[in-house]
Each structure stands twice: as structure tokens, then as C-alpha cells.
């Protein structure tokens, strides 16, 4: 769960720029849901190209956020990716920071409770 810093909103620069890129966030998110995924599974899941996935996965691997196990199955190379403990911690921290950008749902719900409209205003008529 996100830790709440009452009254202190994070700055955009507080978000980990390595994770903030769409495809890298997708890779980490997918590896949170699955213990490991092959290169092909990640590529298909994230609907990206081989080259783009390769570059972005390498950046995460260099940062220590993911681990790549490369081996041959028959005569074909197979790369399998998994989330490292450092990657899990980094993603959790990223999500906590991101959640601090959002307003408190309870406070938002209470402030709107008196102003919710039950019907739409009609359009003005011409005449």
C-alpha cells in the first residue's frame, strides 16, 4: 500500500525515469503478475517489436531491475525474464510515489457528496 505523505505532493522528478517509460513500466508490471515470461511472451503481451523490447529490457537488466536467463532450447535461443528483488522494490516505490500524485479518494468523495447532481441540465433552446 502507498505510504501517505499528508500535504506533501511529489514532484514529477520524484518518479523513477527508468520505470516511467511506457514499455519499461509494462515489462515490470507483466513480471509482477507472472513469475517469469519469455521474450516472445513479453513481446506479444506488450504488442511491441523485437528491437524495442530488446532495448528496453536491456536497460532494465543493466539497472538490476530484471534478470534475463538466456539458454538454448534445441537449437533456438530462449530468453526468459523475471523481476529481481531490486526491481520489485523500485516498482513498489514508483507506484507509491505515483499514488501520491492522486487526491485522497475519501476526501474527494466527501467534498463531492454535497455537489453531485442527479440530472443533467437541458441545452438552451433557441427561439
64 or 14, greater pLDDT: 64
Instruction: Note the maximum CA span of the chain.
Output: 79
What 8-state DSSP symbol labels residue 8? -
CATH number corresponding to 16-101: 1.10.10.10
* Whether 90 contacts 19, CB under 8 Å: yes
Q: Which of 100, 84, 102 is nearest to 28 (CA)?
A: 84
Where in the chain are the domains? 16-101
Looking up cell 506488450, which residue turns up? 46
CA pair distance 106, 4, nearest whole angstrom:
13
* Whether 32 contacts 83, CB under 8 Å: yes
pTM equals: 0.75
- pLDDT > 70 in the chain, percent: 78
Q: Residue 3 — pLDDT band, cuts 50, 70, 90?
A: very low
Q: What is the mean pLDDT of residues 104-120?
A: 61
Q: Residue 113 — pLDDT band, cuts 50, 70, 90?
A: low
Amino acid at each position: 500500500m502507498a505510504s501517505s505523505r499528508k500535504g506533501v505532493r511529489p514532484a514529477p522528478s520524484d518518479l523513477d525515469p527508468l520505470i516511467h517509460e511506457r514499455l519499461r513500466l509494462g515489462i515490470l508490471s507483466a513480471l509482477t503478475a507472472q513469475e517469469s515470461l519469455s521474450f516472445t511472451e513479453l513481446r506479444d503481451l506488450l504488442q511491441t517489436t523485437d528491437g524495442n523490447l530488446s532495448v528496453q529490457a536491456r536497460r532494465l537488466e543493466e539497472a538490476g531491475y530484471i534478470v534475463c536467463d538466456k539458454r538454448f532450447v534445441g537449437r533456438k535461443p530462449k530468453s526468459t525474464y523475471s523481476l529481481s528483488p531490486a526491481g520489485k522494490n523500485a516498482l513498489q516505490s514508483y507506484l507509491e510515489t505515483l499514488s501520491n500524485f492522486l487526491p485522497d479518494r475519501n476526501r474527494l468523495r466527501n467534498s463531492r457528496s454535497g455537489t453531485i447532481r442527479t440530472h443533467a441540465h437541458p441545452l438552451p433552446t433557441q427561439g
